[in-house]
Amino acid sequence: MENTVSDTVLPGPYPGPPSRTRRLRRRAVTGAALSLLIALTGCTSSTEEDSSPAGRGADTTPVAVTGPLCDVLPAGDEPGNPASLVGQTPDQALTWIPVLTTFEAAVRATGMAEELSAADGVTILAPTDDAFKAKFSTANVDELLLKETETLRGLLREHVVTGAHSVTDLVAAGTVRTLAGTDLAVTPADSGARVAEKAETVCADYRAGAARIHVVNKVLGSLPDTAHEEEHHH
């Protein structure tokens, strides 16, 4: 099973605009499990309206995302631009952010969509595809998505904080607690915030329903690194 460099969006129910995502030059996860999950939900409708429960309790102030990666993500009037995600549920919004393919697939595999749509809001620290690639081998990702979903669920809970917090609020708080019960230190960083002394926000302050989504460049949690195993299979 090989990893390939992809200049296009991975197929999914809510594809982003090719004109912008071609610039990402990212490594795409090509594991069988991820492809299967995408295929199984490829027919999901993208016509959800703002009248859904996702819009209830949502912040109505203008959306302004910040961070170095924002420049290559959907913006303006492009499909998937930050303002267009405000009325979506968090799990729907994740499908529009083209660097979160693996994280979004993990949310579906673990059935965490409802938990992310909590009425009181949550803060989602969503690692990029490259972050997953740097942490786990493709075989490990496949195993998590297809067989070890409880372990994967625990990992995702390490990336979710109760309450919808802007990146400024996170830095001001200094420490936040995840749904897994882990306390994460938050300090200022050039890109916005540094979390747990390892991950930095690279495009922060997406809003989806009552949730905040901050794209980060590292995977949090205590699962072992297996990315090095990829090299031994080539």
Which segments within the chain are labelled E, that is strand? 4-6, 26-28, 122-127, 160-162, 175-177, 183-189, 192-195, 199-208, 211-216
The domain ranges of the chain are 4-47+65-231
Please say if the pLDDT value at position 9 is more than 90.
Answer: no
Torsion region of 219: left, alpha or beta (phi above 0 gives left; psi -120 to 50 gives alpha): beta
Instruction: Read off the pLDDT of residues 111-163 as tens digits, 9 standing for 90 and up.
Output: 999 999 988 999 999 999 999 999 999 999 999 999 999 999 999 999 999 99
Question: Which percentage of the chain shows pLDDT scores above 90?
Answer: 68
Is 95 in contact with 104 (CB distance < 8 Å)?
yes
Q: Which of 46, 44, 31, 234 is nearest to 140 (CA)?
A: 31
Between CA 64 and CA 72 the distance in angstroms is 15
Mean pLDDT lowest among 39-43, 76-80, 149-153: 39-43
Q: What does the pLDDT read at residue 62?
A: 79
The predicted model scores a pTM of 0.79
Q: Which fold has domain 4-47+65-231?
A: FAS1 domain (2.30.180)
Tokens encoding 89: 């549920």
Please say if the pLDDT value at position 205 is more than 80.
Answer: yes
Q: Which of 137, 147, 163 is nearest to 110 (CA)?
A: 147
The single-letter DSSP state of residue 198 is T
Mean pLDDT lowest among 23-27, 32-36, 91-95, 167-171: 23-27
Q: What does the pLDDT read at residue 67?
A: 97
217 or 20, which is more confident: 217
Q: Report the sign of the C-alpha dihedral through residues 122, 127, 129, 133, in that order.
A: negative
Q: What does the pLDDT read at residue 233?
A: 54
Instruction: Read off the pLDDT of residues 150-192 as tens digits, 9 standing for 90 and up.
Output: 999 999 999 999 999 999 999 999 999 999 999 999 999 987 9
Q: To which H or E segment does residue 131 belong?
A: helix 129-135
Between CA 14 and CA 217 the distance in angstroms is 22
- Strand 26-28 with 122-127, pairing: unpaired
The single-letter DSSP state of residue 92 is H
Is 120 in contact with 212 (CB distance < 8 Å)?
no
Q: What is the largest CA-CA distance in the chain?
A: 51
- Please compute the mean of the pLDDT values over residues 57-71 and round it to a whole number: 82
